[in-house]
Amino acid sequence: MTGNTASGRIPVSLVTGFLGSGKTTLIRALLRQPAMAGTAVIVNEFGAVGIDDVIFAEAIDGDDVVLLANGCLCCAAGDDLAEAVWMLTRRTFDRPRRIVVETSGLADPAPSLRRMMADPRVRQAIRLDALIATIDAVHGLETLDTQPVALRQGAVADRRVITKTDLVGPEAVTALQARLVALNPCSSVAFASHGEVDVDLLFGATLFDPRTGEADVDRWLGLGGHRNLPHGMRESIRLNGGPAHDPTVGARLIEEERPLDWVRLSPRLGEVVARYGDRILRLKGVLHTSDDERPLVIHGVQRVFHAPVRLARWSRAPATSIVVIGDNGAGPAAELIAEAVRDSAIAESNPHARPPSAPERA
């Protein structure tokens, strides 16, 4: 499989964020923008009575609002989400140009992504466009300190939006931004006042740049954010979230310039995923392999992975870059992946090397 395999599929984005972080206000403001014409919204309410769907129906056609009530997308209602997405893609009249899913404030986004990726019908009909997390500037730091699900939401997202910036001073916004960068430097941070933010800052987080149609692996992986960190801080960003905060959630970037032996690396990655899949919130990367000069793209959520895809060509110098986002217990998984990458690179660069001989005894 090569090239833009997502052509013709409906882009689906998830908007997550803790209770009261401004998800509904953000989506409602986005729906007013011309670029969001033709958008269908799936709303997940934790209680039995839905409210958000009524709010969205004021902004778009009521038929384009689907309510999943009395459940959380990360557990019982997960199959309902896949079914709702599938039914929207099956429309022959007024087929949506985009689908936005608002999760409940208590939802862990990783299982929601996993369930959609695991449904073969949905996987062939959609492409994941962006996972967006809202964090409010008033209570965000406290929420990250006290709510593990908020940490997971902020770590796994492609885009983070600091909301309610009009209610606090610039120092509070700067402190929250720094915390989010430390949590995952490969994910961007935007700012919203009264829910207002440019659509282009949130959507289009796919492998293929929507402006050019070309694959942009550095942009997809968010490598600029990691590489812009001070050198010492780059080394501290591991799956413990850094030296000062967030001991249970974080991101790690693994890079290797030498070509990899994919035949050797692939089963070792499979073993890590089988053992630590529940702890790996998300893994995405581009690999420089020895058997094919084209870049190899991998992407998975927990234990569910897309089939690896070969791109037509490199947009930069060939090199392997893998981003691992995980929670408590994923540290060993990241270390094993890094070790497997190093081992496969060493084996490929000198496949006939002999082990060093033992030193002679005096």
pLDDT per position as a tens digit, 18-60? 989 999 889 888 988 898 888 888 887 544 334 444 444 444 4
Residue 264 lies in a domain: yes
Total number of domains in the chain: 2
Is the pLDDT confidence value at 143 over 90? yes
Residue 359 lies in a domain: no
Together in a domain, 195 and 251: no
pLDDT of residue 174: 96
Residue 223 lies in a domain: no
Report the mean per-residue pLDDT for the chain. Answer: 79
Together in a domain, 269 and 188: no
Together in a domain, 21 and 87: yes
User: DSSP 3-state assignment of 109?
Assistant: helix
Is the pLDDT confidence value at 355 over 70? no
- Which residues span the domain enclosing 181? 10-201
Residue 188 lies in a domain: yes
Q: Who wins on pLDDT, 247 or 159?
A: 159
Residue 23 lies in a domain: yes
Together in a domain, 276 and 159: no
Last residue of a domain, one of 175, 201, 227: 201
End-to-end alpha-carbon separation of the chain, Å? 59
- Average of per-residue pLDDT across 165-193: 93
For residue 301, give the CATH number of its domain.
3.30.1220.10
Together in a domain, 245 and 154: no
Q: Who wins on pLDDT, 326 or 260?
A: 260
Residue 229 lies in a domain: no
Is the pLDDT confidence value at 234 over 60? no
82-124 pLDDT per residue, tens: 888 888 888 888 888 999 998 878 878 888 788 788 888 888 8
Q: At what angle do helices 262-276 and 331-349 cross, to 10 degrees?
A: 170
Residue 215 lies in a domain: no
Residue 167 lies in a domain: yes
In degrees and rounded to multiples of 5, residue 118 shows phi and psi of -80, -15
For residues 302 and 231, the answer to whether their CB atoms sit within 8 Å is no
Is the pLDDT confidence value at 354 over 80? no
Last residue of a domain, one of 201, 226, 244: 201
User: DSSP 3-state assignment of 176?
Assistant: helix
pTM over 0.85: no
How confident is residue 265, by pLDDT bands cut at 50, 70 and 90?
A: very high
For residue 178, give the CATH number of its domain.
3.40.50.300
Between the alpha carbon of residue 220 and those of residues 205, 223, 299, the distances in Å are 6, 8, 11
Together in a domain, 17 and 150: yes
Is the pLDDT confidence value at 246 over 70? no
Together in a domain, 269 and 137: no
How confident is residue 66, by pLDDT bands cut at 50, 70 and 90?
A: low
Together in a domain, 170 and 288: no
How confident is residue 132, by pLDDT bands cut at 50, 70 and 90?
A: very high
How confident is residue 229, by pLDDT bands cut at 50, 70 and 90?
A: low
The percent of residues in the chain predicted with pLDDT above 70, rounded, is 77
pLDDT of residue 114: 81
Last residue of a domain, one of 159, 176, 201: 201
Together in a domain, 197 and 239: no
Contacts of 122 (CB under 8 A, 6+ apart): 82, 85, 86, 89, 116
Together in a domain, 196 and 250: no
